[in-house]
Amino acid sequence: MLTMKPILSPSSLSTISPLFPKFLLSPSPHHTHQTLILPTIKTPKFPILRRPFCSYKSSMEALRSARSGEVHVIIGPMFAGKTTALLRRVQSESDNGRNIAIIKSDKDSRYGLDSIVTHDGAKLPCWALPDLSSFRQKIGKDAYNKIDVIGIDEAQFFEDLYDFCCKAADYDGKTVIVAGLDGDYLRRRFGSVLDIIPLADSVTKLTARCEICGKRAFFTLRKTTETKTELIGGADVYMPVCRQHYVNGQVAVEAARTVLESKNVDFDTCIEIK
Ligand SMILES: Nc1ncnc2c1ncn2[C@@H]1O[C@H](COP(=O)(O)OP(=O)(O)O)[C@@H](O)[C@H]1O
Ligand SMILES: Cc1cn([C@H]2C[C@H](O)[C@@H](COP(=O)(O)O)O2)c(=O)[nH]c1=O
């Protein structure tokens, strides 16, 4: 189980000297108290230039190398452990003294909007946002500048994923760790997740266990006849499957849809797939 750092209440903020900010506050307006964050005295982001008359060019080079960011992408079907891997990596960065923030889409309110939660129940506080571009403004410029690592969960729901990762890593020197579905229930690209592969330092594709045969599962089967791409849900609506059981399952769902349509049944039906 993942552990969390101590909680800081909003009132304690005012006692912290602005010159030596000790913590970054995590954010959620849904928290009854402001939660988390992190360590204190940080290594300067900007290099200290020792030569008094350092040229503009070398200053810029030093500046760039001091703030080099990273993008790491974790993909796979549902239940593959993407959120678990994201939480572990972010927690480990936090343990190493780096300032972290986690963002998830506000579309997924299954476990509330103040935390990201794995299918096993491990969780960390997060910002739930409609888009990534609002993050900097929401958290404030000063707080944003102090963040070293940004975790993004449910990345398939963010249309501005590419621009955000590009800016955060290339220009702001952030380490961005992104977790999301590469494919939807029809195995088509989902949102902009695949678009950020060319930006990435690393890509990890995880697999789950096929719910039917126990083999490695690469795909997510939707068990209902609903056809819209975005449909929030868990094990009630989706199951991870291997290739063979994906194909079989799709045939079963299609057959059910045909029967329901022919009978003019207009409700969402969950298919029993064994
Ligand atoms: N069919 C399955 N295959 C693998 N893990 C499963 C399955 N069903 C439930 N789980 C649980 O889901 C956990 C992964 O949850 P999570 O990290 O939230 O996955 P993701 O973010 O990829 O949907 C696993 O550790 C496991 O305990
Ligand atoms: C396949 C698929 C999934 N979704 C939704 C269902 C869940 O709310 C999330 C995925 O969550 P997880 O952390 O990866 O378990 O995405 C969807 O809207 N459309 C789909 O095709």
Q: From CA 81, how far away is CA 258, in angstroms rounded?
A: 34
How big is the chain by its Cα radius of gyration, in Å? 22
Q: How far is ligand 1, taken at its centre, from the CA of residue 13, in Å?
A: 37
| Ranges of CATH 3.30.60.20 domains, the chain | 207-274
Q: Whose CA is nearest to atom 9 of ligand 2?
A: 232
Q: What is the pLDDT of residue 126?
A: 94
Which ligand lies nearest to the CA atom of residue 155 in the structure?
2
Among candidate residues 228, 92, 230, 216, the one with its CA nearest the CA of residue 154:
230
pLDDT tens, per residue, the chain with 274 residues: 444 432 222 222 222 222 222 233 333 333 333 333 333 333 334 333 333 333 444 455 445 445 689 999 999 999 999 999 999 999 999 999 999 999 999 998 877 788 898 988 888 899 999 999 999 999 999 999 999 999 999 999 999 999 999 999 999 999 999 999 999 999 999 999 999 999 999 999 999 999 999 999 999 999 999 999 999 999 999 999 999 999 999 988 888 888 877 877 655 655 666 6
Q: What is the pLDDT of residue 113?
A: 82
Q: Which residue is it, tokens 């020792």?
A: 50
Residue type, 270: C
Q: What is the pLDDT of residue 274?
A: 60
Ligand 1, residue 87: give the atom nearest the CA: 17
Q: From CA 271, how far away is CA 224, in angstroms rounded?
A: 6
Neighbours of 230 (CB within 10 A): 12
Q: From CA 214, how far away is CA 198, in angstroms rounded?
A: 32
Of 154, 159, 178, 181, best ligand 2 pocket probe by most atoms within 8 Å of the beta carbon: 181
Q: From CA 239, how far away is CA 230, in angstroms rounded?
A: 15
Q: How far is ligand 2, taken at its centre, from the CA of residue 110, in Å?
A: 11
- Catalytic residue numbers read 154
Q: Find out whether 132 and 126 touch, Cβ atoms under 8 Å.
A: no
Ligand 2, residue 83: give the atom nearest the CA: 13
Q: Apex CA 270: angle with CA 266 and CA 274, to 5°? A: 145
Tell me if residue 164 falls in helix, strand or coil: helix
The domain made up of 22-36+64-206 is a member of CATH 3.40.50.150:
no
| Ranges of CATH 3.40.50.300 domains, the chain | 22-36+64-206
Q: From CA 160, how far away is CA 105, in angstroms rounded?
A: 12
Which ligand lies nearest to the CA atom of residue 2 in the structure?
1
Q: Find out whether 60 and 46 touch, Cβ atoms under 8 Å.
A: no
Ligand 1, residue 217: give the atom nearest the CA: 3
Q: From CA 44, how far away is CA 24, in angstroms rounded?
A: 16
| Strand 100-105 versus strand 216-217 pairing type | unpaired
Ligand 1, residue 85: give the atom nearest the CA: 17
Q: From CA 91, how far away is CA 125, in angstroms rounded?
A: 11
Q: How far is ligand 1, taken at its centre, from the CA of residue 240, in Å?
A: 9
Q: How far is ligand 2, taken at its centre, from the CA of residue 239, in Å?
A: 10
Q: How far is ligand 2, taken at its centre, from the CA of residue 231, in Å?
A: 7
Which residues does ligand 2 sit against, CB inside 6 Å?
78, 82-83, 108, 154, 181, 184-185, 220, 229-233, 238
Which residues does ligand 1 sit against, CB inside 6 Å?
76, 78-84, 118-120, 208-209, 211, 240
CATH number of this structure's domain 207-274, picked from the four choices 3.30.460.80, 3.40.50.10440, 3.30.60.20, 3.40.50.970: 3.30.60.20
Of 108, 111, 115, 119, best ligand 1 pocket probe by most atoms within 8 Å of the beta carbon: 119
The reported pTM is: 0.79
